[in-house]
Amino acid sequence: MIHTRLTELLGIRYPIFQGGMAWVSDAHLAAAVSNAGGMGIISAMNAPPDYLREQIALCRTMTDKPFGVNIMLMSPHVEQTAQVVAQERVPVVTTGAGLPSRFMPAWLAADIRVVPVIPSVAIARRVAREGACAVVAEGCEAGGHIGELTTMTLVPQIVDAVDIPVLAAGGIADGRGVAAALMLGAQGVQCGTRFLAATECTIPDCYKDYVVAARDIDTVVTGRRLGHPVRALKNSYMREFARREADTAISNEELEQFGTGALWRAARQGDMETGCVMAGQAAALVKEKLPARDIVEGMFKEAEQLLKGAGQWVV
Ligand code: TUI
């Protein structure tokens, strides 16, 4: 068994969070990961508060284990969804795409464990000061909205900068990644891309197959011009986005408009050509579709064996 400060703190068997992915991380996936002994996370994404309330209720019918909600801070409904998690007293809240500062007092008052996903040392220090109980240090290998630094360089710097537990994210999809993250000083990991191919994940099979088929150089980052770079799998939509991004005659508003609905088309409609198929570089490490329990148990069994064998290098 791999026991860390994170398993202690949150009462989970394995120190793994499932990433809160928009249009992907619903109650079904979250409950499956929590039932497997990890921390399942429902994505509040851009949805209105009633959607989130329903998903939390549904998740509670499928698991009696702790689960969390990811609040995407750029959501137009963020003020209301931030209230919903406090009212529902969700055990864990992760945040992404911004600073959660203004919501922290209400969440802490509701006894919520707040775990911001962060891309830099300064932001980690700030959220730790404001009461975060842990942080997810997410490297730019990750899918979706990303920062500048790699997991390999970001994680040890965050570990040195804050006293709270750190989860490593970005590029982790197997036991080797888990073992490496622990060696960097992390107390756990967050995986998104690996769970895209979970049996319980409700995205269309063609999205899962696209992830399984992905090779090393099959992701691309677009959206730097808009100030929020996004990593996704290459397809005709991403090629067209890159073309429009380079075209100075196209305004930022027009570019934003072209981004609207693209992830929904891929994740809910199965449109692999004109949808945005978000995934991280770890897609190349995802070899098969498996139940969440097998993913979690397999990763930690492999990590345990690697860590036990680590002494072989020391003479
Ligand atoms: O949030 C994510 N990944 C996401 S959110 C998302 S929805 C979206 N779609 C298109 C454009 C923008 C968002 C898809 N994937 N990961 C966690 C994460 N947080 N990555 C980077 C950050 C972050 C960035 C800046 C966290 C804090 C931060 O603070 C700086 C500031 O000034 O707000």
In whole numbers, what is the pLDDT of the chain averaged over residues?
97
pLDDT of 314 over the 90 cut? no
- 3-class DSSP state of 15: coil
Q: Are 132 and 116 in contact (CB under 8 A)?
A: yes
pTM listed for this prediction = 0.97
Give Cα 266 to chain centroid, integer Å.
Answer: 18
Q: How far apart are the C-alpha atoms of 205 and 225, rounded to whole Å? A: 32
pLDDT at 208: 98
- Give the pLDDT band (50/70/90) at residue 311: confident
- Give the pLDDT band (50/70/90) at residue 14: very high
Q: Which ligand 1 atom minimizes the distance to the CA of 259? A: 10
Q: Which of 119, 131, 197, 195 is nearest to 157 (CA)?
A: 119
CB 230 less than 6 A from any atom of ligand 1: yes
**How many helices and strands, by DSSP H and E, does the chain display?**
14, 11
Q: Are 262 and 187 in contact (CB under 8 A)?
A: no
Q: How far apart are the C-alpha atoms of 211 and 203, rounded to whole Å? A: 12
The β-bridge partners of 115 are: 94
CB 146 less than 6 A from any atom of ligand 1: yes
In the chain, the percentage of residues whose pLDDT exceeds 70 is 100
User: What are the pLDDT digits (tens) for 34-68?
Assistant: 999 999 999 999 999 999 999 999 999 999 999 99
CB 123 less than 6 A from any atom of ligand 1: yes
CA-nearest residue, atom 20 of ligand 1: 146
CA-nearest residue, atom 9 of ligand 1: 145
pLDDT at 312: 86
Q: How far apart are the C-alpha atoms of 42 and 25, rounded to whole Å? A: 5
